[in-house]
Amino acid sequence: MIFLYFLAGVLILYAALFVYKTKTGSPSVMSRPEHVERFMKYVRGGMKVADLGCGDGSILIGAVKHGAASGDGWEIEPVVWLKAKREVRREMLDSRIHIHFGDMWGADLSPYDLIYVYQLTRFAKKFREKIARECKPGALVVANTYPIPSLRQIKRDGELWVYEIGHK
Instruction: Give dist(CA 11, CA 47) in Å, integer.
Output: 39
Yes or no: say if 141 and 43 are a contact pair by the CB < 8 Å rule: no
Average of pLDDT values for 3-30?
62
Q: 114: helix, coil or strand? A: strand
Tens digit of each residue's pLDDT (9 = 90 or more) over 69-125: 999 999 988 889 999 999 999 999 999 999 999 989 999 999 999 999 988 878 889
Instruction: Give dist(CA 66, CA 19) in Å, integer.
Output: 36
Cα within 13 Å of Cα(158), Cβ side: 10
Q: What is the pLDDT of residue 123?
A: 85
Q: How far apart are the first and last CA of the chain?
A: 59
Does the pLDDT value for residue 26 go beyond 70? no
* Residue (of 133, 127, 94, 90) closest to 110 by Cα position: 133
3-state SS record for 75-125: ECCHHHHHHHHHHHHHCCCCCCEEEEECCHHHCCCCCCCEEEECCCHHHHH
Q: Does domain 27-164 have CATH number 3.40.50.150?
A: yes
Does the pLDDT value for residue 135 go beyond 90? yes
Query: How are beta strands 97-101 and 70-75 bridged, if at all?
Result: parallel
Q: Which residue has the higher pLDDT, 47 or 16?
A: 47
Domain residues of the chain, as ranges? 27-164
Q: Give the lowest-confidence range in 14-23, 60-69, 135-144.
A: 14-23
Does the pLDDT value for residue 144 go beyond 60? yes
Average of pLDDT values for 16-29?
57
Instruction: Give dist(CA 21, CA 164) in Å, integer.
Output: 27
Percent of the chain surpassing pLDDT 70: 83
The band of 18, judged by pLDDT with boundaries at 50, 70 and 90, is: low
Average of pLDDT values for 1-27?
64
* Residue (of 135, 143, 90) closest to 116 by Cα position: 143
Q: What is the pLDDT of residue 35?
A: 85
Which residues, 6 or more positions from 104, have their beta carbon under 8 angstroms from its beta carbon?
25, 52, 53, 74, 117, 119
Q: What is the pLDDT of residue 10?
A: 66
Q: Which amino acid, residue 135?
A: C
Which residues, 6 or more positions from 1, have their beta carbon under 8 angstroms from its beta carbon?
none
